[in-house]
Structure 1
Amino acid sequence: MGFPILETERLRLIEIKEKHTEDIFAIFSNEAVIKYYGMSAFTEYQQAKSLIESFGKNFKEKRSMRWGIILKETGSFVGTVGLNNLIITGRRTEIGYDLLPEYWRKGIISEAVNTVIQYCFKELDLFRIGAVTFPQNESSNKLLLKLGFEKEGLLRGYLYQNGHSNDALVFSLIKPDWDKNRLL
């Protein structure tokens, strides 16, 4: 199976390749972007290159998928959205996303995540999509609720970042709820 390219009215979700190293570095070296990411900011281009290599390897092994978010109007690479802990036989995954700050609050992540959710339920035939966030990440938490996810609970000391273990919230969206909400 080739990497699926997804499109919306404003966005193209593409496979991330080595030619996107500078874009990935710009995203993952940005302190505002990774503030609630569970990792430290990149300081070297090699880190971006290694991350891109892992995206490709994990896709080939069917363990995850990560799309680059491209604005159709400008061709700008503005963020990523993807599936982590993808278990096709278990019909579940976790979704994650990031976006450069200058594009926040424009509906881009909502549009990208909605498209990936549809792909998960219609094309991959998954049953559950999870999401793990920092409790302080109010924007992401509100977005997930708006998209139909339910908050399931608190994972104590789940995310390690900047020398500290941090609590995390866990959210989920299951296919029957997604189907029901689409009909409303």
Structure 2
Amino acid sequence: MTFPELETNRLRLVKVDEEHVTPYFAIMKRPDVMKYYGMDPLESSEQAAAIIASFEKTFENGRGIRWGIIDKEDGAFAGTIGLNALNKSGKRTEIGYELHPDFHTRGIMSEALERVLTYIFEELELYRTGAVTFPENKAARAVGRTGVRDTVSSLSQTCCVQNEL
């Protein structure tokens, strides 16, 4: 299967590979980024390289896709967005993402998310997707600006779906 590179007006969504280890590590070592991520900040570029290698294996096994978010204007690596727990026969997946704080408040994640949602529902023809966000993580609420609705809400997390049949 060929990796599905996607585009928006301002962004290219590309396969994350070894050329992205340094900028990916720069994001994933930040405590402010990792606070809501479910894992500790990375301590080495070797850890970043191992995670990037796992993106490739996950894609090859058909269990997920992870895109690097590249700003078309300057070629900067802004973050990643991807599908986790991809289940084509079950017509569902989960979305995860992170963005370097230097790119916050520019609408980048909303733009990337809208393109990925279009890919999920129109190209993969899935019916359901979810994202777990934490209410206190205001930056992650890009999900809500795309028309995704909350289905479960608690003090610790919110789950969202779109296009549920």
Give TM-score scaled by structure 2 length. Answer: 0.95
Q: How many residues align?
A: 165
Instruction: Please name the residue that 1:172 is paired with.
Output: 161
Q: Distance in 2 between matches of 1:19 and 1:146?
A: 31
Q: Distance in 2 between matches of 1:74 and 1:94?
A: 29
Instruction: Please name the residue that 1:117 is paired with.
Output: 117
1:51 is paired with a residue whose SS is: helix
Instruction: Please name the residue that 1:133 is paired with.
Output: 133
Once the two structures are superposed, the pairs formed by residues 21-32 of structure 1 within 5 Å of their partners are 21-32=21-32
Structure 1 residue 36: deviation in Å?
A: 1.0
2:2 is paired with a residue whose SS is: coil
Instruction: Please name the residue that 2:143 is paired with.
Output: 144
Answer yes or no: is the 8 Å Cα contact 1:155–1:170 preserved in 2.
no
Once the two structures are superposed, the pairs formed by residues 1-184 of structure 1 within 5 Å of their partners are 1-141=1-141, 143-154=142-153, 167-174=156-163
Q: Distance in 1 between matches of 2:127 and 2:41?
A: 33
Answer yes or no: is the 8 Å Cα contact 1:16–1:52 preserved in 2.
yes
Bigger radius of gyration, 1 or 2?
A: 1
Give TM-score scaled by structure 1 length. Answer: 0.85
2:40 is paired with a residue whose SS is: coil
Q: Distance in 2 between matches of 1:154 and 1:50?
A: 33
Give unmatched runs, 5+ long, in structure 1.
157-166, 177-184
2:157 is paired with a residue whose SS is: strand
Structure 1 residue 129: deviation in Å?
A: 1.1
2:160 is paired with a residue whose SS is: strand
Give the partner amino acid of 1:145: G
1:84 is paired with a residue whose SS is: strand
Runs of 4+ off more than 3 Å: none
What is the aligned-residue identity percentage?
44
1:19 is paired with a residue whose SS is: helix
| Of 100-109 and 18-27, the range deviating more from structure 2 | 18-27
Answer yes or no: is the 8 Å Cα contact 2:67–2:80 preserved in 1.
yes
Answer yes or no: is the 8 Å Cα contact 1:126–1:175 preserved in 2.
no
Output one character per residue of 1:86-115: Cα deviation in whole Å (capped at 9) or x when no partner.
101100001111111111000000000000
Give unmatched runs, 5+ long, in structure 2.
none
Give the partner amino acid of 2:163: I
Q: Distance in 1 between matches of 2:3 and 2:105?
A: 28
Answer yes or no: is the 8 Å Cα contact 1:121–1:175 preserved in 2.
no
Structure 1 residue 146: deviation in Å?
A: 1.7
Q: Distance in 2 between matches of 1:44 and 1:11?
A: 27
Instruction: Please name the residue that 1:162 is paired with.
Output: none
